[in-house]
Structure formats: structure tokens, C-alpha cells
Structure 1
Amino acid sequence: MKLNQVLASLNQIEKSKFINCLDKLCSSVERGDERLTERLDKMNRQIKDASGSEITQLFHVIKPHYKEFVREQLEMSGASLALMLNILTRDGNSIARVAWLEQLYSREREATEHLAQNIKALLADNGEHDDFGKEHRLKIFKDCFEVAFTNDLRVNREAKISDDERTILNQLAKHLKISRDEVIAVEHLFEPVRAEANTVDDCLQTLREMGLVFINRKRSEVLIADELVALLNELQGKTLADKHMLRVLRCFSDAELSNILKAYGKRIRGVSRVEKIHTIQQSGIDIRSILATDLFDNDEGLNKRKERLKQLMDDLDMDVDRLGTTLDDRINILIHELQGASEREFVALSASGYKEMFDTLETNFEGVSPDGKSESLTQRIRREFELEDIEDINTERLRALSITPHDVLYLLSNDEVKRVRDVLKLSKRGNPRALVLEAFASANDKLIENFALLACRDLAGLKQAGIDIAESDIGSKFEEAAKTILEELDLNIDEELRKSINTAKDKADIIISISDDDVIIGEAKTFKNGDFAKYSTTSRQVKAYAKRCENQGRRVAQVLIIAPTFSKDFIESAEMDTEVNISLLTADGLKQIHNAYTTKRKPNFSPKLFTKGGLLKAELIAKNL
């Protein structure tokens, strides 16, 4: 979830620690920073009274200073806090109940303790090593870690690993082929991760004081914004999110996966492909090391390595402007594309297309868990992203956790996704995941093409157009198609704000953010016979939504009602309403604007065109794009 969305979902007390951190930093580092001074002046220097959007903009300006502040604080923290951060920054854990985090912490600590004892026993049993094998390399790293850790004791200070020492140790681990989980286990031998009952709560309070996490007391829920996860990953030296690492691993052959495991002294005999991928992920092996050396046989030449990376980009359906001339160039381009993938992927498939894909996969997917039991898509998602059993799994929740349609498809093995492709009767040529995504994008395009039929609830016309739909689903499909059209007009559909203002009784259809604080409330209405005439009911709904938006610090610039056509009385009532500004747009009109927008080479569309009020002239808007 983006920082702006997190701030919008919390009260003033729950976000106060983060705001206080920014306030103190601004006071200490403003001198000489013109951008920061300009941003503070725009807010009248009232940080504590600023809106979520203003705070988010301030964060992006002060981020380099905040990052240094966090680095200094983490350097003084112990192994328990590091373990907690490792859990919070993993995919799927950005929103989690405190009780669930306690379970994950306990599980992670036990795994670390087990690996640490294995390493201790391995080094004790084998004594001296001179063959530079796995045991020898581990001993070198452990001895170096011990020196770094105990150096402080010589000058009568508490034993700690400083940031400078950790940087050196990380480089040492990289060259000795010591995986991240082994590094953590070695550290555990010298500074054990705490196991006390209140450890997680202490860690969370420390992180909250640093502004890194937010705690919703009412739901006993911890939230960490995407921007803060990215910042922590940089500090931890984590190049790629686990979900993106999984995509890369899915593209490797069994032999290539074995090469990676061999490089780090991991077992490969009698290990299945699924287990190989899981071991590499759990070990935390650096993606740059994998792509530069670990993937390949020792005698593989530079040109073959570069060609393999080019093939990998093709396998991942990357549309890059340049391939890069050197091996490092290609690695950097590949990583950069994956780091920025989430934003593009949410746009590539609409919210309604994502939901339809998820529902179809849930119905048609039959997977197998690591213990050999049958597994549904929901169970696979829970296991892979460490989601709590009591949590409802739906596309809204997945979007809040920044899990894209592509991420879901890459949870399926190559064989599993091919079976889904065959069930959906798609072509066997090309990337099966891309084919599945295209199928649902095409299905959504068909709804948009027949938008007017949806608006009029013309069931016969829809079936004739090849759209098999239940009459009870027409309203929701019309709403989803309207939302998709507005997204394709490059408008900012704010799902998190919509979700936060909705109640069990009243649910807004669409919220469009048009500036930092201004929004348009959209309402999509289908009607079977004649002109839409239910003004009193509709106006009561949208006024309730407007009030809830304003309670969250957002100004409702306009209400946009979309329907097949409007009665004369409806139009007059909307024009005379003094409580809210209402614009009316017919379904045909919205489709006309969309058609004009998609055919223009450089369309010029502004959401302010929807704020004119009254019945909008779609022909004129389309003509002037």
C-alpha cells in the first residue's frame, strides 16, 4: 500500500510518530536544502496539520535524510529488530495483525536457531579445512564475523556490528558464496535473536518511534508503506523482492537451478525443481551474483552469458529500449525493469479484469503443496505470501498488498500455468502467462465495446455480442467497465480511498483523485427501460459518500453520474442542487470520449472536463481531445 493510502486509513494519533520524525528531521536539515524549504513553505510549515498528500510529498523530498536517520538507528539495534524487519519487508506482510507477526517471528527464529546449530556442529566436527570447500568458507566468514563483533569489547564498548563492518562482511559473504540465511545464522551464534514473549511488541514500538511502521490500534494491525519497504530493502542490500526473484527462477532450467545451489554448497541430489526454487529463495542468494556467475557452468564464455540474459528478458516478456552492451549493463536493465514492474502491471490489467482472472483461476486451478496435498489458488497465495488464515483473499486485498496479476500467475509452476492455459482453450504458442493475461484483457475489452448494452441491461444484445453474463451481474460489470474506461483515460482511480469510505450498507462505485486533495466521486447506474430518473435516491447516496470523503480530508470537486440516459427532471434537479456539484454523462458519451482518446496519437484529456456541471457534451469533449 502506498504511503498516501496508509496515511488516509489512519487517525492522527496512529500516524503521529511518523509525522514527528519528519518534523524533527526538517528542523535539523532544512538549512541549505532549497527543495525542502520550498516544500515546507507550501505547507505553511504546519506539518502536523498537513494532508496525507502533502506529507507524502514532503517525505519524497526529505527521503535521503530520513534514510540516513534510519540507517543510524538500525545500526544501534539488535538482531531481534533485524529479524522483525526481514519479516515486515517480505511480500504480503505489509499489512498484518500483531498476533500473526508474533507467529511469523517465532517460526523465523526457530529456523534461524536450527541453521545456526547446524553450522556450529558442522564446523566443530570438521576442524581445520584447507580445500576452500563449504565448511572452510563458512569458518572463514565466522572467524571474521567474530573479530568484527568482539572488536568493540577491546575498547570497553558493547559488542555490535557497525554499518561499515556489515558492509565489509556482506562483501565477504558474497565472494565466499555464503547465503543470506547463513549470514543471519552466524550472527545468531554471537548475538542471539530474543525469544521473550514481549519481543515482537518491543520491536514494533521501536520501529514505530522511527516512523517505519504504523499501528492501527482498533484492528491491532501493523502497516508498512511500499515506499518504506523499498527504503529498507536498499539499506538491507536486498536488490529484488522475493516475488520478482521467483519470476526469474521460474525461467531457469533444472540444470541452471542446480548450478546456483552447487555454488553455495546446497544439496542437489534427489531434490525436485520446486524444492530447488524454494531453497534458493529461502537462502536469500543475491540476484546479481546469480545472473553474473552462479547460473552458468564454469567454462561458459562471456558472450554465451550475455545471450542467456537476452533470452531471459524475452522469457519475462520485457519490452526494453536497449539490451546493454556488457554483462553488467544487461543485469542492471533486467533488475531495473523488475523493480518498476508493479506500477505497470496494475495498469496492464484493469481491476475488473484482475478480479475475473482471479475468480477463473480459483475455479480451474488444481495445485499440489510441498507436502503432496491438493491446493487451491487461495491456499497457494496464503502459503507463498504468508497470509493469515482468517484473512479474506480477494483482489482488493491483493492490490493493497501490492500483489499484481503477474505475481499471482508466477505462483503457479510452469506446468501448472500450462494446464490453466489448456483449460481456457488458449493458443499453445507463446508465453502461457502472457496468454492468460491477454485473455482477460480481451474479455474486458469486449465489455467496453458493448458498454451501451450493459448500461441498458440488454441481456439479449450482450449474448448476441458473445458476452455470457447473468442478469444479476450486469450492474457490477457496468461499474467495472466504467472504471476501466476511466483508467484508460489515464485518470487516477483511488481504490484505497473508496474502500476506506465504504460501509456495509453504502458502497461508492468510483473515486477519482484529480489532485493532492481533490476527488471526483463517480456513480455508475444501469437502467432497463427509458431514461434514468431516480434523482432523490442517487443524490442521497453521493452526498453520503461526499461527506465521508471530506471527513478524511479530501475535497469533493465534483460528482459524476454515468447512466444510459437521463430524464429531464433528473437533469434539472442536478443543475439546481446546491449541496454538491453534479455532472451527468451518458454511457454512449463516455464510450465516445474513450474512442476518441484511444485513437489520438497524443490525446490531451483533463479530469477537469468532468467538472463543468450539468449534462456534459461528450461530442465536444471528444472533438477537443
Structure 2
Amino acid sequence: MKLEKILDRLGSLEKNSFIKIIDNIISKNPKNGKEIEKLLSSSDKGLKSVDNQNISTIFNLTSNEFRKYIECEFQEITSQLDILIDIIIKDGNCIMKQDWFSRLYDTEIKNLKNRIKALNADFENDKSELSEKRKRDYKIYKACLHTAYYNDVENNRDSKVSSDELSIILTLSRQLGLSQEEVKLINYSILPIKKIEIQEVIKGLKNIGVIFYSNKENTIYVADEMVRVLRKIREKEVAEKFYRRTLKLLREPIINQIAKDHNIDRKLDYSQKIEGIIKEGVSFTNLLLTDIYKTGSTLTEKKKALNELCEKGLEIKNLRGSTLDEKINSLIEHFDAVEKDEKVGISLDGFDKLLAELNQALPKLNKQIKDQFELQDEFVLKAEFLLAYNIKPRDILDLITKSDLTFFLKENGIRQRGENILNILEHYKDVENLYLENYMNVGYRNLNLLKENGIIVKESELGIKFEELTKVIFKGLGFDVDEKFKNQLNTNKDMIDILLNLGNNEVIIVECKTSKERGYNKFSTVSRQLKSYQNLALKNDLRIVKILLVAPEFSDDFVTDCEMDTEMNLSLVTALTLTNIFDAFKISKYQEFPHVLFRDILINEERILKALSK
């Protein structure tokens, strides 16, 4: 869930710790200080009085400083921050009831203790699967950490790892190729794990600003933006779902070799080994730099293999970069952009239909998804529920076995030639609703974003498409979009876009304008056009109740010129406002939108939404 949405749900006391930390960062002149100052300039009372959207923006501008602040917290080794952060950044754990978080914490502590015992036994057992080289790596790291932690005792100080010592230890772990989980196991074999009361755990995480806790809902919230920051701290370059997507493209012998290198049981089945690699925190970069290639592969062969993996497997064409490192960074950036993108790839209705038919064809899928993402609800195959956890259609399909996907394709008459997952996504795209979800992008004529969101359209068609979508919205609001009557009125010179027939010779005229530029500002041109439409309607003895102009946005000058016009009963409505009115209307008690609410010059969205909610 996005930070702004979480802040909207919470009271001021529940946000207080987070606000204080960001305020403190701002007071120390952060890198983006000037941009932050602009956002704060409208408020004399500091960050507390800024709206939640701007707080979210300010957090993104201070994310690097916030990361450094959290990294300092890691010097207090007894805090168990590594354990706790690994829990809250896991896919599906961004919203948790307190008792569910407590259960996950207990399970993690228990698993860690068992694995530490097994690791210590492997140290002593000459016949263990651990190679001598790996034992040596573990022993080197363990000895260095032991010295860093206990050298304070010799000097009569509290035991801790200083920032300088920590940076050396982290460098050592990277050079030895240790995974996050291997580091964690060795750390806690030196420092015994003590289970902390869950209220203390929550309080600690809340006080350092990484979680929010709603007392009313008894629920923990971790913002999507926060998860990305914490993941960088834990050196997990991509979300688990993207890591899994990449690993599933590798042949089993390669997966076995990675498992062997990181002390993962090779007797597990293919999917379990993949989950083990993800849980181990094996570096995604190191995996693509060395682990997935045949022994002795040249640099050219590695580049070719990586290009094939991305183009044929991940469907990412023309991966940027000339060196192997640059290509891997480009792939990480691609996954980061996909994760930040709020678009689903198919419409919300299409997602719900996909989930319903998956549930019917594969009855065990609900439990599989529930277990995979550690979700608390019993039935989880609901589009809005999954999207709140940033789980999208592709993430669900990635978890289904090849044989089950093939069965699902046959059961639902979906094309089987080509890539199965892409065929399924295309089948459930639900084009009209997908266009509606991209209404703003059509209005702004943003071809790149439309293409990224699965819509292929010519630029010359965008004006007509914006008009068609506006008609769909007004029909959805209960209006009679009278095409037949409009065509009777229109002449070769005057072509009204949309005519809403209210009956009794009363009409609303709607004009639609797209614009690449921010702030529509061509009032003189559009006013002449609208006045000619007004005259056309009056000649036909029609009463014009309202003229509406719909555009992505309007400049201040345009609004002022509109206010000064005395000849037309004209109101301006932005595409975003119209979309939000439509969404609110769908859950309101009204069968037809009360058009009397269109009475402002620039339509006041907040007032209309409030009226619809009564």
C-alpha cells in the first residue's frame, strides 16, 4: 500500500514518530532541501500540517538520508533489526494484524535456532555437504565478527559493533559470497537470540519510523516506498516475486549448483530450492554475474546468455548497457520501475475474472497463494485485496506450475501458441476497462505510458478515444448520451462531441480536449467553438442546462478567462475529477447523477464527492 494511502487511514498520534524522524532529517539540510522547502513553503507549521500527498513526496526526496539513519540503527546488534526487517519486506507482509506478525516472528526465531544448530553441527561433521572452502569462509567471517563484538568487553565497554567495524564486516561478507541468511545464522550463533515481547517489537519498529501501527485496527502497515528503502539496506536488489520470475527460467542443474554453494538441501524439489535461494538472500547481482553460467564461460558468452534470459524469458527487449554490470543494473532498474507502476497490466475487472476462473480450474491455488505470501485471510483470490499487497496478475501466474498453466489454458479456450503467461494476460485484458484506467494518459496523449500499460494506439486516434471514454463515463453516470439526436443537430461546420439529453428539450453539451502540454490554456479558441454549439442548440429551441469542457487540466489563466465569460453557462472539469466522480457515483445511492452539482466554474471535486456519499 502506498505511503499516502496509509497516512490517510491513520490519526496524528500514529504518524507522529515517522513525522518526527523526517522533520529531523529536513533540519540537517538534506540533498533535496530546496525541493522540500518549496513543498513546505505553503505551511508555517512545518511537516505536521502538510497534506499526506506532499509528506509522501518529501519521504521520497529524503529516502537516501532515511536509509543512512536506519543503517546506523544496525550497530545495536541486539535490536534484531535484520530478522524483523526481513519479515516486513517479504512480499505479502506489508499489512498484518498484530497476532499474525507475532506468529511470523515466533516462527522465524524458532527456524533460526534450528538452523543455527544444524550449521554448528555441519562445522563439526567431516561428512557434511559443506565443502572445506565454504567451512573456511564461514570460520573467517565468524572469527572476525566475534572479535568486532567482544573486543569492547576487553576494554571495559558495552559490546557493540562500531560503524567502521560494521562496514568492514559487510565488505568481508560480500567478498566471501555469503548470502544474507548465512550472515544472519553466523551472527546469531555468536549472539544468542532472545525472543522479545511483540508489543516491544512493534514499539521499536514504530519508533524508528519503518512501520505504522493502527491501534483502532490492531494492524501493522509498511508502505511500499518504505519496503524499497529497507530492501536496499538488506542488499536485496529486487522484490522476491521478480527474483522468483528470473530463477524459474534457469535449468535445474544450475539451480542445484546455486543451492550447493549456499548450503541449501538439493534433495528438495525444484520449486522448494528456488524458494530456498530467495529466502537465503543470495545476491541477485552476484547470481547474474557468476552463478548462472557454465564453468569457464567467457565474458561474451555471459552477455549473450543474459541477453537471451531477458529477451526470451523475461520478455524484456534491448536491455541497456554494454558491460555485464550495466546490463544487470538495467534489469534491476526495470524491475524497480515495474514495481513502482500502479497499473495492473489488465483491468481490475479482468483481474477479478482471471482470479475467479483460476480458482474454479485450480482449487488448491487459493491456499498456495495464501501460504506463499503468508496472508492472513482465508480467501485471498480477490483483485483489490491482492493489489493492496502490491501483488499483480503476473505475480500470481508466476507461481503456477507449467502443467497447471497448460490445463488452465485448455479449460478456458485461451490461445496456446507462444508464451503461456502472456497469452493469459492478453485474454483477460478487458480493453474498455483498461482504457478507462488509463483515461488520464489518453487525455495527456502519453503514448509511452499507454504502451507500457498494454495499450497500443496511434497518436492520431487519441482525441477520438478520449471522447469515446468520456461518453462511457457519462453513460455510467446515468445520462442519456444521445448520439442520434446529436447527429441530427450537427452540421459540417459545427460538430458537438457529446450531447446529454435530459428530456423536455433540455440538454448538456460536453466538449472534450486532449493536450500534451500541462495546463490547457486555449480559451479564446475553445470559447468561439462552444458559442457556435450554443447557437446551434438555441436555433433548435433547446434549453442548454450546462456546457461542460473536459480536459486533463486547465491553466490558471484559462480558469480566470472562463470566470469572466458572461455568455455561456460553462463549467470546467478535469479528467481526474470526472474519473473520481464516476468512482464515487458507482457506490452511491443515486441511479442518475444529479447534474445540478455541476455548478462551479472549475468543478469542485471534494464538494461533489461529499454530496454523493450522503
Gap regions ≥5 residues in structure 1: 367-374, 449-479, 492-521, 532-562, 576-583
**Is residue 36–residue 58 contact of structure 1 (8 Å, CA) maintained in 2?**
yes
Cα shift at 1:524: 6.3
Q: Does 1:403 align with 2:391?
A: yes
Equivalent residue, structure 2, for 1:174:
174
Equivalent residue, structure 1, for 2:346:
349
* 1:50-449 map, 5 Å: 50-76=50-76, 78-126=78-126, 132-196=132-196, 198=197, 200-268=198-266, 270-344=267-341, 346-365=343-362, 375-376=364-365, 378-390=366-378, 392-441=380-429, 444-445=430-431, 448=432
Alpha-carbon distance between aligned partners in 2 of 1:602 and 1:57, rounded to the nearest angstrom: 20
* 1:460-499 map, 5 Å: 480=433, 483-484=436-437, 486=439, 489=442
**Is residue 75–residue 162 contact of structure 1 (8 Å, CA) maintained in 2?**
yes
Cα shift at 1:122: 2.0
Cα shift at 1:138: 2.1
Q: Does 1:608 align with 2:553?
A: yes
Gap regions ≥5 residues in structure 2: 445-472, 483-497, 521-549, 563-569, 579-614
Alpha-carbon distance between aligned partners in 1 of 2:18 and 2:573, rounded to the nearest angstrom: 43
Equivalent residue, structure 1, for 2:601:
none
Q: How many residues are matched?
A: 494
**Aligned in 2, Cα 1:221/1:569: closer, same or farther, shift over 3 Å?**
farther
Cα shift at 1:615: 10
Percentage of matched positions with identical amino acids: 22
**Aligned in 2, Cα 1:167/1:240: closer, same or farther, shift over 3 Å?**
farther
Equivalent residue, structure 2, for 1:49:
49
**Aligned in 2, Cα 1:168/1:420: closer, same or farther, shift over 3 Å?**
farther
Cα shift at 1:437: 0.8
Per-residue deviation, residues 364-394 of structure 1 (Å, max 9, x unmatched):
225xxxxxxxx22x21211111111457541
Alpha-carbon distance between aligned partners in 1 of 2:308 and 2:294, rounded to the nearest angstrom: 17
Q: CA RMSD in A?
A: 3.8
**Aligned in 2, Cα 1:32/1:357: closer, same or farther, shift over 3 Å?**
closer
**Is residue 180–residue 280 contact of structure 2 (8 Å, CA) maintained in 1?**
yes
**Corresponding letter in the other structure for 2:231:** N
**Corresponding letter in the other structure for 1:110:** K
Q: Does 1:16 align with 2:13?
A: no
Where 1:222 maps in the other structure, the secondary structure is strand
Cα shift at 1:429: 2.7
**Corresponding letter in the other structure for 1:159:** S
Where 1:489 maps in the other structure, the secondary structure is helix
**Is residue 4–residue 56 contact of structure 1 (8 Å, CA) maintained in 2?**
yes
Alpha-carbon distance between aligned partners in 2 of 1:13 and 1:358, rounded to the nearest angstrom: 38
**Corresponding letter in the other structure for 1:85:** I
**Is residue 89–residue 229 contact of structure 1 (8 Å, CA) maintained in 2?**
yes
Alpha-carbon distance between aligned partners in 1 of 2:219 and 2:378, rounded to the nearest angstrom: 13
Per-residue deviation, residues 99-135 of structure 1 (Å, max 9, x unmatched):
1000000111111101111111222344999974333
Cα shift at 1:482: 7.7
Cα shift at 1:252: 0.8
**Aligned in 2, Cα 1:132/1:54: closer, same or farther, shift over 3 Å?**
same
Per-residue deviation, residues 480-536 of structure 1 (Å, max 9, x unmatched):
578436255368xxxxxxxxxxxxxxxxxxxxxxxxxxxxxx8863769998xxxxx
Alpha-carbon distance between aligned partners in 2 of 1:151 and 1:523, rounded to the nearest angstrom: 73
**Is residue 91–residue 241 contact of structure 2 (8 Å, CA) maintained in 1?**
yes
Where 1:15 maps in the other structure, the secondary structure is helix
**Is residue 10–residue 216 contact of structure 1 (8 Å, CA) maintained in 2?**
yes
Cα shift at 1:19: 1.5
Where 2:293 maps in the other structure, the secondary structure is coil
**Aligned in 2, Cα 1:429/1:12: closer, same or farther, shift over 3 Å?**
same
**Aligned in 2, Cα 1:303/1:209: closer, same or farther, shift over 3 Å?**
same
Cα shift at 1:606: 4.1
**Corresponding letter in the other structure for 1:608:** E
Where 1:194 maps in the other structure, the secondary structure is coil
**Aligned in 2, Cα 1:361/1:602: closer, same or farther, shift over 3 Å?**
farther
Equivalent residue, structure 2, for 1:503:
none
2:476 to 525, 550, 556: 525
* 1:26-45 map, 5 Å: 26-29=26-29, 33-45=33-45
**Aligned in 2, Cα 1:111/1:527: closer, same or farther, shift over 3 Å?**
same
